[in-house]
């Protein structure tokens, strides 16, 4: 076992397999699955204009998110990663199975906390509400992102770099977690066998996460492993039928409205709240926080 875990890996091989899982999955998994979902919608009589426009808005928000991510990456993030790696990191880890597996698990754990923070902090929810604002649940919703969604992961991945993991490996692991998450956005798959549902995040668990039913709020933050939620007290099984969306629906498929509605609502809340201290608290307190 130790021999396997310490087996040296070639960087090119690692990069290749991450590319297969992260980038190509859009071609061999996500798009074919989305087509199946559309056929299913058609048979169920649910394929309508709203669903089509919602899906188009989802893809457009992804485009905007991607541009922001690239700009942040080029201007700031990659430089910060490598600077931290060079100056504030534990001894750099060799590239072997143990490093890759632990990096993916740490990225998954970081995702759990990043995701939880985005639900429980005002500014986090202002951007993440975009992802939850769709009243539908399909593969395209996985690509519905908010304007600051590329910023928050930085705070949680930098500590992984400080542990001695190569920044590129950390980045690839984060993308792997995101890619795994994408395939969970479906109603087609019901419940999977017990052991899988116990250990892994599944479409069922993630449907709960997207539910606007009160008992489903702020549950199942996991990326790959649902055991993080079980351990940290945020797990909720899918029992009642899920109603997707947010408590105050946006009722719009305008991509601009979809993309910016969270920030708009946050700034509106800030203008309404009295006192500088309370305005700051709107940023960092949970989204349902109101001053006394």
Binding to another protein by CB under 8 A, coded x per residue (else -) over 112-131, reads -x------------------
CA distances from 268 to 133, 150, 271, 282, 283 (A): 18, 23, 5, 11, 12
Q: How far is the CB of 154 from another protein (least distance, A)?
A: 17
Among 34, 65, 109, 152, the residue binding another protein under the rule CB under 8 A is 109
Q: Which two tokens stand for residue 70?
A: 């690239």
Q: Is residue 93 near another protein by the rule CB under 8 A? A: yes
Binding to another protein by CB under 8 A, coded x per residue (else -) over 10-29, reads xxx--x--------------
- Count the residues of the shown chain that bind another protein, applying the rule CB under 8 A: 32
Sole window of 6-14, 203-211, 243-251, 281-289 interacting with another protein (rule: CB under 8 A): 6-14
Nearer to another protein, 126 or 171 (CB): 171
Q: Which two tokens stand for residue 20?
A: 């297969």
Q: Is residue 65 near another protein by the rule CB under 8 A? A: no
Q: Is residue 166 near another protein by the rule CB under 8 A? A: yes
Q: Is residue 106 near another protein by the rule CB under 8 A? A: yes
Among 30, 38, 77, 95, the residue binding another protein under the rule CB under 8 A is 95
Nearest CA-CA partner of 213 in 182, 236, 181, 188: 236
Q: Is residue 94 near another protein by the rule CB under 8 A? A: yes
Q: Is residue 168 near another protein by the rule CB under 8 A? A: yes
Sole window of 28-36, 130-138, 163-171, 207-215 interacting with another protein (rule: CB under 8 A): 163-171
Cross-strand bridge partners of residue 211: 244
Nearer to another protein, 149 or 166 (CB): 166
Nearer to another protein, 153 or 203 (CB): 153
Q: Is residue 247 near another protein by the rule CB under 8 A? A: no
Q: Is residue 248 near another protein by the rule CB under 8 A? A: no
Among 73, 135, 147, 164, the residue binding another protein under the rule CB under 8 A is 164
Contact 263, 127 (CB under 8 A): yes
Nearest CA-CA partner of 157 in 72, 218, 95, 58: 72
Q: Is residue 91 near another protein by the rule CB under 8 A? A: yes
DSSP 110-170: HHHHHHHHHHHSHHHHHHHHHHH--S--SGGGGG---TTTTTHHHHHHHHHHHTT--HHHH
Under the rule (CB under 8 A), what is the footprint of another protein?
2, 5-6, 10-12, 15, 86, 90-91, 93-96, 98-99, 102-103, 105-106, 109, 113, 159-160, 163-166, 168, 231-233
């Amino acid at each position: 076992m130790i021999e396997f875990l310490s087996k040296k890996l070639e960087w090119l091989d690692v990069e290749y397999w991450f590319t297969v899982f992260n980038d190509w999955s859009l071609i061999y998994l996500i798009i074919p699955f989305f087509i199946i979902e559309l056929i299913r919608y058609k048979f169920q009589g649910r394929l309508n204009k709203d669903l089509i426009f919602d899906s188009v808005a989802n893809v457009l928000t992804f485009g905007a998110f991607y541009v922001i991510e690239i700009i942040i990456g080029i201007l700031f993030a990659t430089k910060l990663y490598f600077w931290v790696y060079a100056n504030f990191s534990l001894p750099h880890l060799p590239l072997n199975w143990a490093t890759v597996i632990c990096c993916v698990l740490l990225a998954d754990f970081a995702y759990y906390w990043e995701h939880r923070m985005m639900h429980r902090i005002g500014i986090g929810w202002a951007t993440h509400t975009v992802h939850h604002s769709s009243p539908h649940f399909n593969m395209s919703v996985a690509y519905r992102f908010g304007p600051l969604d590329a910023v928050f992961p930085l705070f949680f991945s930098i500590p992984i770099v400080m542990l001695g993991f190569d920044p590129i490996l950390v980045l690839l692991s984060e993308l792997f977690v995101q890619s795994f998450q994408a395939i969970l956005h479906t109603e087609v798959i019901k419940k999977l066998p017990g052991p899988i549902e116990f250990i892994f995040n599944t479409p069922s668990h993630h449907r709960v996460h997207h539910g606007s039913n009160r008992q489903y709020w702020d549950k199942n933050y996991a990326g790959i492993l649902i055991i993080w939620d079980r351990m940290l007290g945020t797990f909720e099984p899918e029992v009642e039928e899920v109603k997707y969306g947010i408590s105050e629906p946006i009722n719009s498929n305008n991509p601009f409205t979809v993309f910016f509605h969270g920030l708009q609502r946050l700034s509106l809340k800030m203008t309404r709240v009295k006192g500088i201290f309370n305005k700051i608290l709107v940023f960092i307190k949970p989204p349902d926080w109101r001053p006394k």
